[in-house]
Amino acid sequence: MAQTTALPNAPLAPADTLRGLLRAGLPLPEQAQAGQLLELRGVIARAGRSGERASRIRALDSLLRWQLARFEHPRLAEPARLLFGAIRPAEGLTLTERREKAAAAAGYEVHHFRKRIEPEICQELARMLGADSEDLRSRAIPPVLGQARGPMRLPADVFAWEAAEHEESLSGLWSTVYALRAGLLATARLASMNGPDSGEAAQAARTALWHLALVLDAAAGYRAAYGPHLLGADPPTKPDHLALLAGWHPALQEDSESELASLAGRFATREDFLTNLDTCPASAAAEDWCRALAASTPPTNGETL
């Protein structure tokens, strides 16, 4: 049977890296050989200045402490904290001293502890770090809906108010994205049923344009409140790029997008928006957009119905 051999320069597995960190223990020294652990999503998300290695080391240090604090293994929780020097009786001790205390707490002989139990602890800690990073994976996804069991109640807490306000903004933004999706689907369906040049398809395309303008207007509002990217989205996502998730639609120049967003902000209803669209500087671009959208989805059998 073929055996796999680690390449000479292959990065260490997280559990092996953690074993290497045991020598100094916590707090991690600035020069700690933390390898791939510094690339963990959970570390980068917590680092105050994620571009700086020292900041990532500090974030890894606190993440390790936190994970050790909630290490739930019935037999190894306390030994794990002692081994890494995360709690008082082991803080500042050498690895040999920490190991002795940890082995005693676990009820093992020191050599057995070093050979068999330490890898087990590091493996579990590596698993926890990995799970933490997975939990933080946060693509641009809409706020999760769930069946409510009771009325919405917020504590009188500013953090709660602000988090709720952010979710209000995000929910509003996503509602425009879904409305745009509905508009794009309607246009595709009517172009397929009645032909891309039909009045129905043209009307649907104009409705879709209004919805696109509402997305852009909501995105501008979000940007003003929270900055250029959706908070917490990983990878960074611009709010107006959510429109692309609604479905394919023709591109617009940036100045036309701004015009349309502004128009949607000023005129609340579809009718008012479309009435005023004709005198707006982006009117020609808007017309081209609607025509291109309707024409993009002819029936696939090539026949005009």
Partner 1 sequence: MDLTTLIDPTGRPRRFVITGGPSAGKEAIIDELHHRAIPATDGEPAREIYREHRERLGRHLQVGDRREYSREVLSAFVEEYTEHKHGLRFFNRGIPDGYGWDAFFGLGPYPELEEATRVYRYDGVFILDPLDDFESEDDLVFAKDREIRRVHELIVQGYYDAGYRPIFIPADDPSRRIDQILANVSAPTG
Binding positions for partner 1, rule: CB under 8 A: 45-46, 48-49, 58-59, 61-62, 65-66, 69-70, 135-136, 138, 143-144, 146, 149-150, 152-167, 223-227, 229, 231-232
Closest approach of Cβ 225 to partner 1, in Å? 5
CB atoms within 10 A of CB 11: 13
Looking at the Cβ atoms of 72 and 278, the one nearer to partner 1 is: 72
Token digits of residue 14:
């997280």
Min dist. Cβ of residue 210 to partner 1 (A): 25
**Shortest spacing between CB 36 and partner 1, in angstroms:** 20
In the structure, how many helices (H) and strands (E) does the chain have? 12, 0
Q: Are 47 and 55 in contact (CB under 8 A)?
A: yes
Dist. CA 149–CA 69, nearest whole Å: 32
Place of tokens 């998730």: 245
For residue 238, give the amino acid letter. Answer: K
Contact 236, 223 (CB under 8 A): no
* Residues 97, 100: Cα–Cα separation, whole Å: 5
Q: What is the CA 159 to chain-centroid distance, rounded?
A: 20
Closest listed residue to residue 191, CA positions, set 181, 180, 183, 200 = 200
Report how far residue 171's alpha carbon sits from residue 116's, in angstroms, rounded to the nearest whole number: 50
Q: State whether the Cα torsion 78-80-86-88 is positive or negative.
A: positive
**Distance, CA of 36 to CA of 14 (rounded, Å):** 7
Closer Cβ to partner 1, 10 or 158, answer by number: 158
Alpha-carbon distance of 68 to 235, in angstroms, equals 28
Residue among 136 and 292 whose Cβ is closer to partner 1: 136
Q: Which is closer to partner 1, CB of 1 or CB of 159?
A: 159
Tell the residue number behind the tokens 């996503």, with chain if given: 174
What is the identity of the amino acid at 260?
L
* Closest among 93, 104, 111, 88 to 25, alpha carbons compared: 93
- In whole angstroms, how close is the CB of 175 to partner 1 at the nearest point? 16
For partner 1, the closer CB: 66 or 178: 66
Based on CB atoms, which residue is closest to partner 1, 61 or 118? 61
Residue 160 CB, shortest distance to partner 1, in Å, is: 4
CB of 165 to partner 1, least distance (A): 6
For residue 78, the 8-state DSSP code is H
Distance separating alpha carbons of residues 12 and 35, to the nearest angstrom: 8
